[in-house]
Amino acid sequence: MWKTIVRRFLIMIPQLFVLSVIIFVLAKFMPGDPFTGLITPQTDPARIAELTEKAGLNDPWHIQYMRWIGNAFQGDFGLSYTFKRDVADLIGERALNTFWLSLLSVFLLYLIAIPLGILAGRYQNSRLDKTIVMYSFVTYAIPTFVLGLIFLFLFGYKLEWFPTSGSVDVKYDPGTVSYFWNKFYHILLPSITYAILGTTGIIQYLRSEIIDAKAMDYVRTARSKGIPMRKVYSKHIFRNSLLPIAAFLGFTITGLLGGSIFIETIFGYPGMGQLFVSSISSRDYSVITALVMLFGFLALLGSLLSDIIMSIVDPRIRIE
């Protein structure tokens, strides 16, 4: 298995190289430049031209790319024109916020989806099953920004149960219990919203797996031996049905890390998603290219992680 993991990592290198070229070229096709927002009636055009030349934005795209990729290999993704900070440090701070948001979202997602999927599969065609299926269809049909805005208005502004922006209140000192509790309080509502929107796939897949498993020969054999249905479900059906769900964990984690753009923007949460949106608005190419490369790497890593998890939870499967 270790040889396969190493080989998969080596395959990622050309994939990331092609991705880096595509992303860099597309970023350069964006209209304007990082200094466009500085132009006012009082701005000296010569000053803007000087800044553009100093930043190397007048060089051919392939020269700019070679300079950027060379620095990236050394961990230097450039300077953010908007925040006037090193891109790696900026993303590092935002990535930590997104990590905690994603971690809680994954926990809540599986906490909601697995029981509902099990109940829907076990009590197929019952009122409970139809209610759960209807719930999954409704949550699948609701756009992310719509549910986010509804929850923000209802629980944030109307009922004032949760904060409406930020990751922590400034009055708390880092490292204290109150600080961590307040941070958790800020990410709770975005995590609940994210989790509800992500339950549909797991519920439907788990429901289908359980329904299929009930018709398997090993289940009929267990029932013919007089084993109580409670034990048949717990020791045979549920265990085997949950194996594919475990394989989705890798994709779920990396998908949440890279797909939090709408949630973070709606709830004003300072993570990588919000940083990505603000960087596009300000044409901050250094941040845009670094973030997209990170999202691409996470997608590839999620595929490998899912294969590894599947091979661990199911001894019959080995990635070769």
pLDDT in tens, 111-120: 998 889 888 8
Q: How far apart are CA 184 and CA 104, in angstroms?
A: 9
Question: What is the predicted pLDDT for the residue at 292?
Answer: 83
More confident residue, 314 or 126: 126
pTM over 0.95? The answer is: no
Q: Of the ranges 50-64, 163-177, 219-233, 302-316, which is most confident? A: 163-177
pLDDT at 313 over 80: no
Q: CA-CA distances (angstroms) from residue 86 to 20, 277, 289?
A: 19, 18, 14
Q: How far apart are CA 78 and CA 82, in angstroms?
A: 12
Collapsed DSSP state (helix, strand, coil) of residue 46: helix
Q: What is the mean predicted confidence (pLDDT) over 284-305? A: 80
Q: Crossing angle of helices 87-122/272-281, nearest 10°?
A: 120
Q: CA-CA distances (angstroms) from residue 205 to 1, 40, 112, 114, 192?
A: 27, 55, 14, 10, 21
pLDDT at 232 over 80: no
Question: What is the predicted pLDDT for the residue at 123?
Answer: 83
pLDDT at 38 over 60: no
Q: Are 228 and 109 in contact (CB under 8 A)?
A: no
Question: What is the predicted pLDDT for the residue at 312?
Answer: 67
pLDDT at 256 over 70: no
Question: What is the predicted pLDDT for the residue at 131?
Answer: 92
